Amino acid sequence: MAIIQAGSPHPLGAEWNKHGVNFALFSSNATRVELCLFDAQSGAPALRCDLPARTGDVWHGLLSPRRAGPGAHYGFHVHGPNEPENGHRFDAAVALIDPYARELSGQSPPRARVIDGRFDWGGDRPPAHTWRDTLIYELHVKGFTQLHPAVPAGWRGKYLGLTVPSVIEHLKSIGVTAVELLPCQSFLTEPFLRERNLRNYWGYNPVAWFSPANEYAVHDPVAEFKTMVKSLHAAGIEVILDVVFNHTAEGN
């Protein structure tokens, strides 16, 4: 049996199911796409194989549960033309982050990580306030609770810090119906800050738009982000995300 099967072009990213992990990546100009799994401890490549199928401009393949599952670290080596003058900068030597990654590892360089996306939403529904009744409060996930005495020490500056009853009650007491979170997608620190032994605080240097920043998690960024949203919704507070599309951590 082949190492990898054809799988499905949808959904994009890595999806774990009873058949294994399905990988799907969009690229209209690639000539070949390789999937690479990395050892979670050493970061060394553990398996590398071509995605065997292409549907339209989506390259895809399915690895069996024996080869991949939740927690697997992966990236893509994408082959294609290196023609900057035509907007093509393919470099198959570089393992790229999946743009649809749901979580990134905390390693350097960061790798995409397969997740178990199951979560008990318990009938959660967005409050859906009318615009005329909406009061939006912009806040930074870390800064809002980092020094809050009522937040457990381990939750300060984290997604879970926004689930603490006293924090939510304060927002409700001033009439807030929606919180707009400053960027909390996975981001990197810019080189000019690292040279000064500083770190990016505000998050305006994203590297993966579908992956919650690990910096604001205690253990599991995806589950804890969902828990935060569920708790705010239960209190009648909507969640709006500030998203940076005009630049990324991949370049200037």
The CATH number, out of the four listed (2.60.40.10, 1.10.645.10, 2.60.120.330, 1.10.260.40), of the domain defined by the range 4-113: 2.60.40.10
Higher pLDDT, 247 or 30: 30
Taking only the tens place, the pLDDT of each residue in 12-59 is 999 999 999 999 999 999 999 999 999 999 999 999 999 999 999 999
Residue 84 Cα distances to 88, 89, 148, 179, 227, angstroms: 5, 6, 49, 41, 43
- Tell me the pLDDT tens digit for each residue of 197-228: 999 999 999 999 999 999 999 999 999 999 99
- Determine the topology of domain 131-241 in CATH: Transcription Regulator spoIIAA (3.30.750)
Domain boundaries, the chain: 4-113, 131-241
**CB-based contacts of 102, cutoff 8 Å, min separation 6:** 13, 14, 113, 115, 117, 210, 211, 222
